[in-house]
Amino acid sequence: TWQQGVTYCAGTVDGTTGWRLPYLWELSKYFYQNGRGDFQSGYYWSGTNSPQNPGYACIVAMFDGNVVNYTKSNASVYVRCAR
């Protein structure tokens, strides 16, 4: 879920702290500069809430770059932490 992603990134990742979910613009910029790069094909949580509904957050599809609002309770979304 989105909250699990927030909690995971707020902990220790690869032996270091100071991580967070990436902002929507960071994920989108990465995709448009690198394609999928080293991301698995799928949807990735951003730390950006949906402006229309606080129960949703923005995700980026790392197979085509589309941005979608997903319910934060959805558990089928990947997490990649940023600093």
pLDDT digits (tens, 9 = 90+) for 5-43: 999 999 998 899 999 999 999 999 998 888 778 888 999
How much is the pLDDT for 5? 95
CB–CB of 62/36 below 8 Å? yes
Q: Mean per-residue pLDDT for 46-72?
A: 93
How much is the pLDDT for 34? 82
Output the pTM of the full model.
0.89
CB–CB of 48/41 below 8 Å? no
